[in-house]
Amino acid sequence: MNQQKRPASRRRSNQRRGNKRVATQGDSLVGTEFEVEVGDVAHGGHCVARHDGRVVFVRHALPGEQVVARVTDGGTTSRFLRADAVRIVQASPERREAPCRFSGPGACGGCDWQHTSAAFGRELKTRVVREQLRRLAGIDWPGVVEQVPGDEDGLRWRTRVEFSVSPDRRLGLRKHRSHDIVPVDDCLIAVPEIAATGLLEEPAEPDTTGVDVAVAADGEVVAVDLPVRDSGIPNLVERVAPNGLSARGFRVSARGFWQVHPGAAATFVGAALDGLQPKPGERALDLYAGVGVFTAFLAEAVGPEGLVLGLEGDSRAVRDAGPNIAGFGHATLERADIGHDGWGSVVDETLDRVDLVVLDPPRSGAGRAVVRDVLARRPRRAAYIACDPAALARDLAYAAESGYEVVSLRAFDAFPMTHHIECVAILEAAGAVADQIRR
């Protein structure tokens, strides 16, 4: 994900000028402790509390608890504070002892909800999705976050982990919002094959800054030392078998993007195609196509009399996609910087019309311009796959401006024990736009 840089004048505000430091947060409150009553969950893996009239985002807490919070970020003039719950005065009935000994305040930052069950974690995520959709898109969503098959009550699902190297050459994971590294000998949300490599028990090689470990669907384990010093990154073969569709194998670089939950890819493809209801002969556009997963299944659904175009900005993913769609003469996947000048001309040169769209953008979302330009082609339906409910809600509001409404929305717990959520929204033309398409 690309993060937009702050203006230079603001970047300088936290630097020293001469012998004086420009304080944007006043005097630091880091380490200060106070007791608070914890309110509801908020987007980002924390709950909201208030202290002295100021909002405090508290990690390691649950709604309704009374806790002692220790400030981890903020000062006397900050608009809000960040804190960890370091002592539980009154616990929620949903609290449990974290199964991972590396989880908790000041420890590994990989998980947000180890201190509750996977089921209650889904309840918390449901509240977040509902609040974001209502606040940013004016949508009252009655659904719930669904479990994805393939984990063990929220554990043992992550098929890829990138470990960092601590100063004493141990592999570990970073603390929350920190470059500090917590050495680990296992990760309970990772599949057991990762710890079984023995890499977590050995010192890292000299000059290695990290190790990326991936486990394929057939159990093959690949470890890549970072930084990558040559172009010989191995490939893995992943399999996707959505309900009602034939299983397919996909080649992906060991450093390329792939859904890390073993049930995620099949779940998302199934949800998208169930919502799109593709018909033979239709034209489909797959934006942010990655290694061609949706492109391939769309091509299968529309048949040889149809056409499918996938566009992807990452060159490595486009290279990986070649063999993945090679069996479909009516499907192509090309490199294009979606949202920048020229990408729309690629669509117009390849497809005589657009009946269906799949949008699977990065965490920041597609944005108003892309949503507007895509829907201006008047697809019959569009599937939006989102890993951030706030970005999704904003883009759904932009879709409404273009005359499209949400006809279904499903949310999935593809990242148990963390605050991350994946959603699949199906959009359909409404009102005058629907009449225009029918004509």
Binding-site residues: 259, 288, 312, 360
DSSP 271: H
Q: Are 421 and 389 in contact (CB under 8 A)?
A: yes
- Helices 293-302 & 315-324 angle (0-180, nearest 10): 40
Taking a C-beta distance cutoff of 8 angstroms, is the pair 151, 159 a contact? no
Find the angle CA(10)-CA(11)-CA(17) to the nearest 5 degrees.
95
Annotated binding site for S-adenosyl-L-methionine: 259, 288, 312, 360
Query: Are the CB atoms for 264 and 270 separated by under 8 Å?
Result: no
Q: Give dist(CA 385, CA 396) in Å, integer.
A: 11
Q: Are 276 and 381 in contact (CB under 8 A)?
A: yes
Q: What whole-number distance in Å separates Cα of residue 321 and Cα of residue 253?
A: 10
In sequence order, the β-bridge partners of residue 248 are 240
Which tokens belong to 115?
């201190």
Q: What are the distances in angstroms from CA 414 to CA 166, 193, 435?
A: 29, 19, 37
C-beta of residue 387 within 8 angstroms of C-beta of residue 422: yes
Which of 258, 95, 110 is CA-nearest to residue 175? 110
Collapsing DSSP to helix, strand or coil, 196 comes out as helix
Q: Which residues make Cβ contacts (< 8 Å) with residue 116, sequence separation at least 6? A: 62, 92, 94, 95, 96, 124
Beta bridge partners of 357: 285, 382
Euclidean distance between CA atoms 61 and 130, whole angstroms: 20
How many CB atoms sit inside 10 A of residue 323's CB?
15
CB atoms within 10 A of CB 407: 12
What does the DSSP assignment read for 14-41? GSEETTEE--SS-SB-TT-EEEEE---E
Q: Name the active-site residue from 100, 111, 387, 423.
A: 387
Give the separation between CA 320 and CA 329, rounded to whole angstroms. 17
Would you call 423 a catalytic residue per the annotation? no
Question: Which residue do the tokens 């601590």 mark?
Answer: 166
Q: Strand 33-37 to strand 66-73: parallel, antiparallel, or no bridges (unpaired)?
A: antiparallel
Residues with active-site annotation: 387
